[in-house]
Amino acid sequence: SWDTLRDARRRTMATDEFVPLPQLADVDGYRPTTFDYDPPAGSKDPKGGIPPGKSEWVDVFRKSIPEFRKRAAADPRVPEAASLADRFADDFSTALDRIHAGDHADLFEGQPTVLKMCRLRDETLRSLGFTDCFKVVKATENERALTVLPAVLAEIDAIADAKDRLLALIQGAFAGNIFDLGAAASAKLHEDGGGDFRSTRARLRSRPWLVDDFDSLHQAWTANGATGGELASTWRKCVMFVDNSGADVVLGMLPIARELARRGCKVVLAANEVPSINDVTAAELEDLLPRVAELDETFAEAVKCGAIAVCSTGSDLPVIDLRRVSKRLAATVDDADFVILEGMGRAIETNLEAAFDCDALRIGMVKHPEVAQCLGGELYDCVCRFEAAGYI
């Protein structure tokens, strides 16, 4: 029942195991969500139109129900999965009707946000026994990505020019980020057999991207003035918030982590504690690292000497409120001087406007038309926002 869900949530929220990310510049002024789900009358999007309102955002979640129902119905670990999957679809659809009608006081406090609605969807699944219904597809996609990884790394290593190499790494992050089964458009692409890494990378929008701070990122990346080769890193330690399993983390983010480590920057890969959609968990990432190390000597060396490590964020959502990260993560990255947030959920729908007291990079692909509209762009546009330390 909703009461049980609400009580469980209150118990979770009351724990003192969570603290703010040390790099947040203004914890009191921090607002995790980027878009207003119920914008005031007279609001305009960047092109002067009426921005998506509550009914459009409710529809975003409604359109995700078929994919979640499909994955839940096929979950081999849940008895009577098919009928429970139908119940999830009915329960969550009813909750969405109530949110649309403004009758949601016992679902969550205050107005709807992406954080609250993602939590409601995940808790509805979990209450029916679906703790990780994307487990099979995550494992399949990880295996597929591992077979492609050596060639992807060889391509990157063959690029001598530092700027071109960085561009290839960022484009790889965009291409990998399309593997997102929580968004209706990219879930359909995956079902139709599209969205593979190489073809996506080849078809990426050309620069300038929708948000394009690549040139200032490159300046910071090569701040010591060198132009190539084995460079000293600008940063000592990076905390990298990763997103999806498969091509996203294996072909998109691990090559960036490897490049930073190669240049002398330690990288802490920050991933979910609890499964949510097809996002990679910290435990899954721990299992992936030795597999990647077997395929690549540079990566193996970085893992062996602790230059690349994994730490759980403590999170159980596909979006993140950086006032609530695990104490262990906060302690591990206390001295980090570079924050990378990747993916539409963590870098665009939340934290796009967050202020940090160190250099920060947000990268991701836009996979909801409503998010595109709010940013004045189109579906599958790319976001690369880099802000140097002290920007508020």
Please write the tens of the pLDDT for every residue from 111-127.
999 999 999 999 999 99
Higher pLDDT, 187 or 37: 37
Across 224-238, 327-341, 378-392, least confident range: 224-238
Whether the per-residue pLDDT at 4 is higher than 60: the answer is no
The pTM of the full predicted model, rounded to 2 decimals, is 0.94
Q: What is the pLDDT of residue 373?
A: 97
Query: Mean pLDDT, to the nearest integer, of 128-151?
Result: 96
The whole-angstrom distance between residue 299's C-alpha and the CA centroid of its chain comes to: 22
Q: Which of the four pLDDT bands, split at 50, 70 and 90, describes residue 11? A: very low
Q: Which residue is listed with tokens 């092109």?
A: 47
d(CA 79, CA 76): 8
Query: Mean pLDDT, to the nearest integer, of 1-15?
Result: 49
Q: CB of 378 within 8 A of CB of 208?
A: no
Whether the per-residue pLDDT at 376 is higher than 60: the answer is yes
Provide, rounded to the nearest whole percent, the portion of the chain with pLDDT above 70.
93
d(CA 265, CA 231): 10
Q: What is the pLDDT of residue 266?
A: 97
Q: What is the pLDDT of residue 231?
A: 57
N-term to C-term CA, the chain: 42
Q: Which of the four pLDDT bands, split at 50, 70 and 90, describes residue 331? A: very high
Cα torsion 296, 309, 269, 145 to 10°: value is 30
Tell me the pLDDT tens digit for each residue of 286-325. Answer: 999 999 999 999 999 999 999 999 999 999 999 999 999 9
Tell me the pLDDT tens digit for each residue of 214-266. Answer: 999 999 998 754 444 445 688 999 999 999 999 999 999 999 999 999 999 99
Q: CB of 36 within 8 A of CB of 43?
A: yes
Q: CB of 181 within 8 A of CB of 190?
A: yes
Whether the per-residue pLDDT at 157 is higher than 60: the answer is yes
Tokens matching residue 314: 């403590």
